[in-house]
């Protein structure tokens, strides 16, 4: 439960550390805001506090157009403690209810659709479908405010099948029509610029160094303030460039995408790759308690992702027992040899292209080439190829390769590479001084924290 006295002090201070922790709804205007909203603060008797933006919307309040509460960093507390609910929310955010029915989602979670509805009503006060529609509308709102896409394209990108359905749902959820929400004119283009906010601290210099050191020529590009790459999503090709703005705690991201209907899923994956949604203050508070007191903790260390699990697996295989530079050169050779050309750049090779190739251009042992083909064949022939339990059955793939692929290809937060040479070197004789159990579920951040010491 929120303490109104603490919330009052926090909102009046406009301290950014409270951003996303709770939201302030104003009864006299029907609007809800972030704690950092620049408007003159309302009187205390006219406000009510909520722990999430969804609760505000469910209570009938609409988002402020100045502070944009939809862009506030996510507060993990509102998701509840139930792991099934947490996974359901993640899948819905990825578009599960746009691609399948509620019954199919429930089957995927291993529960009944009735129980799934009960979980949402208990923890969020709304049904799964209402939650999904609200998320679609909030994403559409972001596109309307930050891009010049036509409203018909915004509707499609947000997962709506028709403009009429989009207009009705948008007005019902946000009390405004899409045309009124729009601040600028329309422009027919599949080039979109968006702002991706994060809650500090964020050690961009360290993340940039990791990305730059592993950047594959003509697939990725990276300088002191930006990172970008080409990608494929469900057969649709595209590229993005994310420019870091430390003063505003955000990335300005420009996306080129062939099919705008995949935009939301692509945006979510870019957010994962840059690790912008994590509440790093809470993570670091836990990690510091499990490390020795004299440990030289580096604040702001996050998980730099790789576009997908398959690419992460290929990179992990090619990087076994060699230097980072040597691994990067091998991946570059693979990309230039088998990757499809897109403009002046290349896409990462498909599993099909690797299966069909003898890989003679790679100067690696024949057993490692076969391991690459084993993984590629697995992706070609299996319906759920990212199941890591099945990976371990492939010859040449062991626990380290699987863990690394999950760490960077899925951004799993609780992967600790205990057998990694870099981790062992960073720990030295202090391994027994670390409370790994207490570090859970943030052991991936512990892994990168230890790597940052090298």
Residues 152 and 204 in one domain: no
Element (H, E) at 89: helix 83-93
Residues 162 and 209 in one domain: no
* Domain's final residue, options 76, 97, 126: 76
Which pLDDT belongs to residue 26? 96
| Contact criterion met (CB below 8 Å) for 230 and 347 | yes
Domain residues for the domain of 196 are: 191-268
Which pLDDT belongs to residue 32? 95
Residues 31 and 85 in one domain: no
Number of folded domains that form the chain: 4
Residues 46 and 174 in one domain: no
Beta bridge partner(s), residue 294:
none
Which pLDDT belongs to residue 15? 62
Which pLDDT belongs to residue 190? 61
Q: Is the whole model's pTM more than 0.85, yes or no?
A: no
In a domain, 432, yes or no: yes
Residues 314 and 433 in one domain: yes
In a domain, 277, yes or no: no
Residues 212 and 342 in one domain: no
Q: What is the rounded CA–CA span in Å between residue 390 and residue 399?
A: 12
In a domain, 127, yes or no: yes
Beta bridge partner(s), residue 49:
24
Residues 314 and 402 in one domain: yes
Which pLDDT belongs to residue 402? 95
Residues 198 and 254 in one domain: yes
Residues 313 and 447 in one domain: yes
Q: Taking the chain (454 residues) in consecutive chunks of 10 residues, what is each chunk's mean pLDDT?
A: 79 72 93 87 94 90 84 46 69 81 86 85 78 86 85 90 90 84 56 88 97 96 97 93 96 88 85 91 87 91 97 96 94 97 95 97 96 96 85 94 95 88 82 79 92 91
Residues 39 and 92 in one domain: no
Residues 114 and 172 in one domain: yes
- Per-residue CA distances from 35 to 21, 28, 53, 71, 77 (Å): 9, 18, 12, 12, 17
Which pLDDT belongs to residue 264? 79
* Domain's final residue, options 181, 203, 237: 181
* Domain's final residue, options 268, 299, 334: 268
Q: Which residues contact 454 (CB under 8 A, 6 or more apart)?
A: 422, 425, 426
């Amino acid at each position: 439960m929120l303490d109104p006295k603490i919330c009052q002090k926090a909102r009046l201070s406009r301290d950014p550390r409270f951003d996303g922790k709770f939201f302030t709804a104003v009864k006299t205007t029907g609007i809800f805001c972030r704690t950092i909203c620049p408007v003159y603060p309302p009187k205390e008797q006219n406000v009510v506090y909520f722990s999430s933006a969804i609760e505000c919307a469910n209570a009938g309040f609409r988002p402020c157009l100045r502070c944009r509460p939809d862009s506030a960093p996510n507060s993990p507390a509102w998701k509840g403690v139930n792991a099934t609910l947490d996974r359901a929310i993640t899948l819905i955010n990825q578009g599960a209810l746009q691609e399948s029915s509620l019954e199919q989602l429930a089957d995927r979670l291993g529960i009944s659709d009735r129980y799934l509805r009960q979980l949402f009503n208990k923890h969020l006060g709304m049904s799964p479908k209402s939650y999904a529609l609200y998320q679609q509308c909030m994403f559409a709102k972001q596109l309307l405010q930050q891009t010049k896409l036509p409203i018909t394209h915004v509707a499609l990108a947000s997962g709506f099948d028709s403009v009429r359905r989009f207009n009705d749902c948008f007005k019902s959820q946000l009390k405004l029509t899409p045309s009124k929400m729009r601040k600028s004119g329309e422009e027919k283009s599949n080039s979109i610029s968006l702002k991706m906010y994060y809650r500090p601290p964020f050690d961009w210099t360290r993340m940039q160094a990791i990305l730059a050191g592993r950047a594959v020529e003509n697939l990725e590009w990276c300088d002191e303030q930006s990172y970008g790459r080409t990608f494929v999503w469900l057969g649709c090709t595209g590229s993005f460039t994310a420019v870091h703005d430390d003063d505003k705690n955000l990335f300005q991201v420009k996306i080129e995408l062939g099919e705008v209907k995949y935009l939301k899923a692509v945006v979510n994956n870019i957010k994962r790759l840059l690790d912008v949604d994590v509440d790093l203050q809470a993570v670091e508070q836990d990690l510091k308690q499990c490390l020795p007191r004299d440990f030289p903790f580096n604040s702001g260390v996050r998980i730099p992702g790789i576009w997908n699990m398959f690419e992460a697996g290929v990179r992990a295989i090619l990087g076994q027992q060699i230097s980072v530079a040597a691994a990067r050169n091998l991946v570059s050779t693979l990309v230039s040899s088998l990757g499809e050309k897109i403009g002046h750049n290349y896409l990462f090779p498909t599993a099909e292209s690797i299966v069909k190739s003898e890989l003679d251009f790679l100067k690696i042992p024949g057993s490692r080439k076969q391991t690459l083909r084993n993984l590629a064949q697995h992706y070609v022939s299996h319906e759920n190829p990212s199941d890591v339990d099945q990976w371990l059955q492939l010859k040449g793939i062991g626990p380290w390769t699987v863990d690394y692929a999950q760490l960077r290809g899925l951004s799993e937060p609780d992967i600790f590479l205990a057998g990694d040479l870099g981790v062992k070197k960073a720990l030295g004789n202090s391994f027994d001084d670390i409370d790994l159990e207490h570090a859970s579920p943030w052991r991936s951040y512990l892994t990168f924290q230890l790597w940052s010491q090298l």
